[in-house]
Amino acid sequence: MSGKQRGPLDGMLVADFSRILAGPYATMLLADLGADVVKVEDPRGDDTRTWTPPVRDGVSTYYLGVNRGKRSIALDFRNPEDARLGRELARRADVVIENFKPGGLTKYGLDHASVSARNPSVVYASISGFGSGAGRKVPGYDLMVQAVSGLMSLTGDPEGPAYRAGISVFDVMAGNHAAIGILAALLHRDATGQGQLVEVNLLSSALTGLVNHSSGYVAGGTVPYRMGNAHPSVFPYEPLPTADRDLIVTAANDGQFGRLCEVLGIPEVSDDPRFLHNTDRTRNREELRPLLVERLRTRGALEWFDLLVEAGVPCGPINTIDGGFAMAERFGLDPIVEAGEGERAVPTTRHPIRFSETPAVYRLPPPELNEHGDEVRAWLEDENA
């Protein structure tokens, strides 16, 4: 059905009933790995098709960013025939993924219990905002989760309001967790023949994603607070001003700090008892910061970047997105690839994982709504397929 098969997930059929970001991001990762992903959309289309600007050739770049490698079929589950085709797709699938409100697919026979009864080996992944228990009725949007998880309380100036992160960080994190869960469940299925339900929710992804802050509370009883760009446990680990713009300096251990001081021309500072170890530097950061800034202001950020990186001191200029891509190009990461071929090819960001034997594939551009509807319908109707 999918033509030439390539990638480590060759031959894997994914029925994608998800919308917006977390689910589509997960299924895009699977498509990059060779899975045949059939994106099932309401006839009105995925919401992100209308989330503009920006656009490319009239199409939302938000939608383009998380839907390469898939085929699209439009099904209206309120139509009994379309609902039947959805169930048939789920019956044939290796993986089903959805992010409807918990219980929202039950009336169509597309919930886990119904699908697994017809397809016992299916890996069924469900993504929600707050789980399938007491939080099942609460819609899940990334901004809500940034708020209730505590992330926004950590983001922004200490004297200013709480801020959201610049991206839907927990949608992306939940999408990654869903992909990991799916791959683990497929490995279990290979060993036992059993499918299973994989549940991911944004709040749980957020709490684990807060890492050291979560641990500080759970294991140490400490509720962290906003520190702007400062780190609660490490210094220097923040932007510091140079002659032209701020430079992120992350000298997180004693060796890195010693090399930083050497390059800055103040080697005696690393031997000062006030700054000898990280705990000392963190405790005395207000005394140390002006000593570093005085030297950093003598050169520009990019000049310091080259000097410090050469010495093994982690640092980096604060770029805009174009600068981030330029730096990835400089490092030979080739961050931009094309999904699809010919006139329909769309520039897209490279899959983040490199494989020595089974590299990621970018077979198809993000599909137009119902672009593959006829071929998918014909395949589902063919009892011998």
Check residue 47 and report its DSSP letter: G
Phi first, then psi, for residue 361 (nearest 5°) are: -120, 155
Q: Are 94 and 33 in contact (CB under 8 A)?
A: no
171 a catalytic residue: yes
- Work out the number of other CB atoms within 10 angstroms of the CB of residue 47: 15
Annotated domain spans of the chain: 13-209+337-381, 237-330
Got the DSSP string for 261-302? HHHHT-GGGGGSGGGSSHHHHHHTHHHHHHHHHHHHTTS-HH
Q: pLDDT at position 226, please?
A: 92
Q: pLDDT at position 285, please?
A: 97
CA distance 310 to 326: 19
pLDDT class for 5, splitting at 50, 70, 90? very low
pLDDT class for 149, splitting at 50, 70, 90? very high
CA distance 20 to 143: 14
pLDDT class for 6, splitting at 50, 70, 90? confident
Q: Considering only residues 4 and 5, tell me which one the structure prediction assigns the higher pLDDT.
A: 4
Q: Which residue in the list 46, 142, 171, 246 is annotated as catalytic?
A: 171
The region of weakest confidence among 2-6, 103-107, 204-208, 226-230 is: 2-6
From 348, 385, 372, select the one nearest 66 (Cα to Cα).
348
Q: Write the pLDDT tens digit of every residue in 39-76.
A: 999 999 999 999 999 999 999 999 999 999 999 999 99
Q: What's the mean per-residue pLDDT of the chain? A: 96
For residue 251, with 0-12 CB atoms within 10 Å meaning exposed, 13-18 middle and 19 or more buried, which class applies? buried
Q: What is the mean pLDDT of residues 152-160?
A: 94
Q: Write the pLDDT tens digit of every residue in 108-128.
A: 999 999 999 999 999 999 999
CA distance 57 to 40: 23
Q: What is the mean pLDDT of residues 348-360?
A: 95
Q: Return the CATH architecture of domain 237-330.
A: 2-Layer Sandwich (3.30)
Phi first, then psi, for residue 378 (nearest 5°) are: -65, -40
- Judge whether 13-209+337-381 and 237-330 match in fold: no
Q: Are 40 and 86 in contact (CB under 8 A)?
A: yes
Q: Considering only residues 140 and 279, tell me which one the structure prediction assigns the higher pLDDT.
A: 279
Q: Write the pLDDT tens digit of every residue in 165-218.
A: 999 999 999 999 999 999 999 999 999 999 999 999 999 999 999 999 999 999
Residue 36 makes CB contacts below 8 A (sequence gap 6+) with 1, 2, 11, 12, 13, 14, 71
From 61, 63, 64, select the one nearest 48 (Cα to Cα).
63
**Pairing outcome for strands 59-60 and 55-56:** antiparallel
Q: What is the mean pLDDT of residues 245-259?
A: 96
Q: pLDDT at position 281, please?
A: 97
Q: Are 116 and 194 in contact (CB under 8 A)?
A: no
- Per the DSSP assignment, residues forming a β-bridge with 98 are 17, 126
Q: pLDDT at position 384, please?
A: 76
Q: At what angle do helices 80-92 and 373-381 cross, to 10 degrees?
A: 70
User: In which element (H, E) is residue 196 found?
Assistant: strand 196-201
Q: Write the pLDDT tens digit of every residue in 356-375.
A: 999 999 999 999 999 999 99
CA distance 36 to 72: 11
Q: pLDDT at position 139, please?
A: 87
And the tokens for 353?
A: 């994982």
Q: pLDDT at position 4, please?
A: 55
Q: Write the pLDDT tens digit of every residue in 265-297.
A: 999 999 999 999 999 999 999 999 999 999 999
pLDDT of 1 higher than 70? no
pLDDT class for 3, splitting at 50, 70, 90? very low
CA distance 57 to 46: 18
The sign of the torsion formed by the CA atoms of 316, 317, 321, 326 equals negative
CATH number of 13-209+337-381: 3.40.50.10540
pLDDT of 160 higher than 60? yes
